[in-house]
Amino acid sequence: MQRDTSTTAPLTTSGRIRHRKRSNEVIPEVSKANGTQLLVNDKSKYKSMLIRAYSSVWMIGGFVLIIYMGHLYITAMVVVIQIFMAKELFNLLRRAHEDRQLPGFRLLNWHFFFTSMLFVYGRILSQRLVNTVTSDMVLYRLVSSLIKYHMVICYALYIAGFMWFILTLKKKMYKYQFGQYAWTHMILIVVFGQSSFTVASIFEGIFWFLLPASLIVINDIAAYIFGFFFGKTPLIKLSPKKTWEGFIGASVTTIISAFMLADIMGHSQWLTCPRKDLSTGWLHCDPGPMFKPESYSLPGWIPHWFPWKEVSILPVQWHALCLGLFASIIAPFGGFFASGFKRAFKIKDFGDSIPGHGGITDRMDCQMVMAVFAYIYHQSFVVQQSLSVEMILDQILINLSFNELEALYWRLGEILQRGIPRKS
């Protein structure tokens, strides 16, 4: 008989077949490395696109409704997003076996999370909370006291968590526990260090939150569509399905959209007026020079049959171009960072809460990068840095007690009665 030359598993001395242990390491596919698994070549792309489109419609519809409801509801939405992001990231390094031996250890993570939330939002919303309760003297005094000792309260809560962690250390579990402690603090930096800028932008005017967030959504959708139909050239190895065609098409679309959306949003007082308190009523304000149109005459080389001889442009539209440029070129690197992070942990998505999109963190990677830039740009190039009556009053109300405010009132009255020299 002819000898069988096929490969067989080696035999042990007892005659049993010994199977070689498989490696847990995920071997990257050659097709993904060389970019052949692009959306244009994906056979199941239409089914994936329908699922993704269906989820996107629901998300955009809910987002529009929350924008209509106002600043406080948008802030609540950001808080919910932060909680889901923290949950997904906490679970990333969670080990069930070790957690069973450490009862209450997960609760400690959430203790640090909500302590950080109290610190961050207390710093951002304190003055607006004071403005909300000014008419009620009892609430005003209570809130003023809480704000005065806000940092002490937050520090005490953090130290309590720190002591809790030290007292729960177990032998042979030190490495896991300290790894989780460091991981928790990194999550707090990522979630609160960046998304706190989002909340700050919301109360400067919904415009400064909505426009950057919309540009990221537009860039993401445009990159997917252009890559879906025209993508041929791989962009970066970290994201094999990203293509140069999608990147360039999305960049052009985003910059044009930024200029047009700024004009549409800039005419709405609901979007442009800053919110000075935590109420939900309608807003009326002077929009300021940024949102007042300026006329520009068209150059002479424009044909005579062209119907317009001049155009009106809001000054904020020029700033929107900078936001659009950042959203299309720099912000996508937040997505690339997330892709590399997921590859390091050998996972496809951070979660599965959004069909076709993955988890909440998968949708927020670029948004967080954009939120930081939008706030810094607004404070650096849009907001006037000179002192105003409102800024001085805000500092007086937040730092002085009721008796000190009363003394200041009488003192100012005396100064005004005597007369003060006018500032030249």
Rounded Cα distance between 250 and 219, Å, is 5
Strands 310-313 and 234-236, sheet pairing: unpaired
Q: What are phi and psi of 382, to 5 degrees?
A: -115, -50
pLDDT at position 318: 96
pLDDT at position 422: 56
Token duo for residue 318: 């020029």
pLDDT at position 41: 58
Assign residue 398 a region (left: φ > 0; alpha: ψ between -120 and 50; beta: otherwise). alpha
pLDDT at position 49: 76
Q: What are phi and psi of 240, to 5 degrees?
A: -60, -25
Each of the 424 residues of the chain gets a pLDDT tens digit; together they read: 444 444 444 444 444 444 444 433 443 443 444 444 565 555 566 777 788 788 888 888 999 999 999 999 999 999 999 999 999 999 888 877 777 788 888 899 999 999 999 999 999 998 889 888 888 888 888 888 899 899 999 999 999 999 999 999 999 899 999 999 999 999 999 888 887 899 999 999 999 999 999 999 999 999 989 998 898 899 988 888 889 999 999 999 999 999 999 999 999 999 999 998 898 888 888 888 999 999 988 887 887 787 888 899 999 999 999 999 999 999 999 999 998 988 888 888 888 888 777 889 988 989 999 999 999 999 999 987 656 677 787 778 777 777 888 898 898 888 888 876 555 4
pLDDT at position 50: 85
Q: What is the DSSP letter of 25?
A: S
pLDDT at position 363: 85
Rounded Cα distance between 147 and 406, Å, is 19
Q: Where do the structural domains in the chain lie, given as residue ranges?
A: 386-419
